[in-house]
Amino acid sequence: MNPQGGFSRRGWLLFGAMALLWGVPYLFISIAVESISPPAIVAGRTLIAALLLLPFALRGGALRAAWKHWPWVLAFGLVEMAGPFVLLGHAEMTLPSGMTGLLVATVPLFAALIALGGGDRGVLRPARGIGLLVGFIGVAIVVAGPGLFGGDVSLLAAGEVLLVAILYAIAPFIVARKLGDVPSLGTITLSLLMIGIIYLPIGLLTQHEVPTLPSLGALLALAVICTAVAFLAFFALIREVGPVRAPLFTYVNPVVAIVLGAIVLAEPLTPGLLIGFPLIIAGCWFAATGGRLRPAASVDSRASTELPSTTLPPAP
């Protein structure tokens, strides 16, 4: 691990892998919702991923440690998984996957606002304040762009995705204040298992058609590749480059989502998307880091949002 110097070759490989692993889920969600209900997707994704991670969590007692704090682990799961996963599924029934990925990238903006509400006056520094303003201008252009330049976008769906970003911004604070001493893998595995059990009956009741093979394949990919494998890769990335730098890959995720949406699903690259995209990414970067390579951990939404032990970016 070399958190002070540059990335090692292994670090860059893991960084690129995470940019892909958490940039591609929006494509898979868009395919899965074609014949699988959002609650059923949540149930399948979380239960399969939990079963795959279970052996790793049992090793070393991570799961046992997480169980001692199960109420807060459940709270984390509700905010990080239960709400976001079903909202994303419902939103992508009408919203392009690329736009969804870009709107989710606003997590650092909301995390900065939450930090400000909690008394972190560092958010008011000029670079970060300007970043907040620029980022939200970018959001407005992306959401209003289709209307301004021709086309249409569901404001309800866009609102659902922005709510997801807010939930993802809240999750780190639960981790930092209530689960900071709990092994990350234990928190993730137990929360996945809990949410899967909660959503299983809802998924069965809301699934009214036989899933197609593409949808089933997308669901399996979400569970295995984008959840179980992605979390293991993220833990490895943290060990390699440190907990502050590791979450920086999330700034690349929207690029992957937009490119895959355009290539695989033929989603249009609208003027609003092209104009708003750089504004959102630049705004998020400055709002979260003040323009520095090593952002303050208190405001870095990814670095505190998922390593449920202080630093774990939300899985889309």
Q: Express each pLDDT in 195-240 by its tens digit.
A: 999 999 999 999 999 999 999 999 999 999 999 998 888 888 877 8
Q: Which amino acid is at 91?
A: A
For 140-173, the pLDDT digits (tens) are: 888 776 544 445 678 899 899 999 989 988 888 8
Give the pLDDT confidence score for residue 303 in this predicted structure: 34
Separation of alpha carbons 117 and 180, rounded Å? 21
> By the 8 A CB rule, do 149 and 26 touch?
no
Q: Note the pLDDT tens digit of each residue in 265-315.
A: 888 888 888 888 888 888 887 876 776 655 444 433 333 333 333 456 666
Alpha helices for 179-252 (secondary structure H): 184-206, 213-223, 230-241
In terms of average pLDDT, the best of 25-34, 137-146, 176-185, 286-295 is: 25-34
159 neighbors 205 (Cβ within 8 angstroms): no
Q: Where are the domains of the chain?
A: 9-305
One-letter amino acid at 289 equals T
pTM: 0.82
* CB neighbourhood size of 2 (10 A): 12
User: Hey, what amino acid is at 90?
Assistant: H
Instruction: Classify 316 as helix, strand or coil.
Output: coil
Q: Determine the pLDDT at residue 83.
A: 94
- What is residue 141's predicted lDDT score, i.e. its pLDDT? 83
Looking at every residue in the chain, the average pLDDT score rounds to 83
Confidence of residue 111 (pLDDT cuts 50, 70, 90): confident
Distance separating alpha carbons of residues 167 and 175, to the nearest angstrom: 13
Q: Is 103 exposed, middle or buried (0-12, 13-18, 19+ CB in 10 A)?
A: buried
Q: For the chain, state the CA radius of gyration.
A: 18
